[in-house]
Amino acid sequence: MATPGPAPTTDDDVSSWSFEAIGTSWTVDVDRPVGPAARRAVADRIEAFDRDWSRFRSGSVVDAVRAGAGRHRLPDDAGPLVEVYDALHRLTAGAMSPAVGGSLEHLGYDAAYSLRPAPGHVPAPDWGAVRWEPPYLVTGEPFVLDVGAAGKGYLVDLVAEVLEQHVAGAGVTVDASGDLVHRPGQGAPPLRVALEHPRRPGYAVGVASLDGAPGRRALCASATNRRTWADGVHHVLDARTGAPTTDVLATWVVADDARTADAVATALFLAPPETLRRELDFTWVTYDALGALRASPDFPGELFR
């Protein structure tokens, strides 16, 4: 099998390295040099996650769930992922669901990247009818599992944990293009992150300031115009209808972990922030279809409006 993208390319210790993995660009910064063993561990963690969960690779658990109803053993790291999806499925009244894969495939977002939407929309099967009996997912009908709304953020958390095990106490920033975890080094200034204007590349609508104290902080961004392949067709769907969302164009969320921030960044396309904040701890910025910028008063940073 081919060597995964993130494999170390040098035996030297480095404090910053970049690679391509799970279809996106990653950059890892550590406040001290890191040897090839730690970088190899990062690469292996990403490869394992992709192999286990990708809707775009054969042999993953997605294949089994697609093949038929039954008791499907999920990967060992499944618990937190199922948990955040369960919460957001409930808080969005069913609009957000990991069972939405079939709806995405109907619109052409499939393993072959055909990107040819079939007519109409296909609602997702009811995630509420699926039972989670760890480590088994008990399904009553076949469907296409898609953990794209939270999986990447969760993987960023997992990569940060791998690094913290190898270089305890180090300042670490893991940036997977839109999903970022920052654990500040001692005495380090806050990490300033530009919130890219969804309609004007090269411009920012604000800057988030992550001090990280006392532990990790995560910032996740989502934009529906990032992956639009036909008029009004993008990757954030309302699972109840299978149709792409229209009201919000871009979201940014700061939370203690990227799993939550990533999932909420998607949920903000589907439900009001106040509803989500009833159960989840996060701060937010949204840019809606009319061009209005909104944010929670406690968002760490500044907005240009």
Partner 1 sequence: MSSFSPARRWLLAVVATSTLALTTGCGIGQQADDTSSADDTSSSTESTDTGSSSTDEGTDDTGAGAETGGTYTAGEYEAEGSYDTPGGTQSVSVDVTIDAEGTIEAVEVTPQAESGNSVQFQNEFADGIADEVVGQKIDGLSVSKVAGSSLTSGGFNAAIDEILAEAQA
> Min. distance of Cβ 266 from partner 1 in angstroms?
14
Burial of 36 (0-12, 13-18, 19+ CB in 10 A): middle
Q: Which stretch binds partner 1 (CB under 8 A): 54-62, 83-91, 157-165, 219-227?
A: 219-227
CA atoms within 13 A on the CB side of 205: 22
Does 15 participate in binding partner 1 (rule CB under 8 A)?
no
Count the alpha carbons within 13 Å of 9 in the hemisphere toward its beta carbon. 8
> Does an H or E element contain 49, and which?
helix 36-53
What residues form DSSP beta bridges with 17?
28
d(CA 100, CA 239): 6
Question: In whole angstroms, how close is the CB of 66 to partner 1 at the nearest point?
Answer: 29
Task: Between 18 and 165, name the residue whose CB sits nearer to partner 1.
Answer: 18
Q: Which of 149, 193, 268, 280 binds partner 1 (CB under 8 A)?
A: 193
Q: Which residue type, as a one-letter code, is found at position 258?
A: A
Per rule CB under 8 A, is residue 213 in the interface with partner 1? no
The stretch among 54-62, 85-93, 134-142, 215-223 that binds partner 1 (CB under 8 A) is 215-223
DSSP assignment of 55-103 equals TTSTTSHHHHHHH-SEEEEPPTTHHHHHHHHHHHHHHTTTSS-TTTHHH
Residue 74: CB minimum distance to partner 1, A: 30
Minimum CB separation of residue 273 from partner 1 in Å reads 18
Shortest spacing between CB 121 and partner 1, in angstroms: 13
Residues 244-273 that bind partner 1 (CB under 8 A): 246, 250, 252
> Which residue number, 170 or 207, has a Cβ lying nearer to partner 1?
207
* Listed residue (283, 22, 54) closest to 159, CA to CA: 22
Which DSSP string corresponds to 133-187?
A: ETTEEEESS------TTTHHHHHHHHHHHHHHHHSTT--EEEE-SSEEEEEPPTT
254 within 8 A of 210, measured Cβ to Cβ: yes
- Regarding 95 and contact with partner 1 (CB under 8 A), the answer is no
State the nearest-atom distance from the C-beta of 67 to partner 1, in Å.
34
Q: Is 156 in the site for partner 1 (CB under 8 A)?
A: no
Binding region for partner 1 (CB under 8 A) out of 56-64, 93-101, 132-140, 220-228? 220-228
The reply to whether 9 sits near partner 1 by the rule CB under 8 A is no
Residue at 285: amino acid letter: V
* Three-state SS at 234: coil
Of 85 and 252, the one with the shorter C-beta distance to partner 1 is 252
**Among candidate residues 6, 276, 51, the one with its CA nearest the CA of residue 151:** 51
Choosing from 16, 199, 215, 272, the residue that interacts with partner 1 (CB under 8 A) is: 199
Q: Which is nearer to partner 1, 147 or 265 (CB)?
A: 265
Rule CB under 8 A: say whether 170 interacts with partner 1.
no
From 23, 68, 128, 232, residue interacting with partner 1 (rule: CB under 8 A): 232
The answer to whether 175 contacts partner 1 (rule: CB under 8 A) is yes
Cβ-in-10-Å burial (0-12, 13-18, 19+) of 209 comes to middle
163 binds partner 1 (CB under 8 A): no
Residues that bind partner 1 (CB under 8 A): 173, 175, 178, 180, 191-205, 207-208, 219-221, 223, 225-226, 231-232, 246, 250, 252, 289-293, 304-305
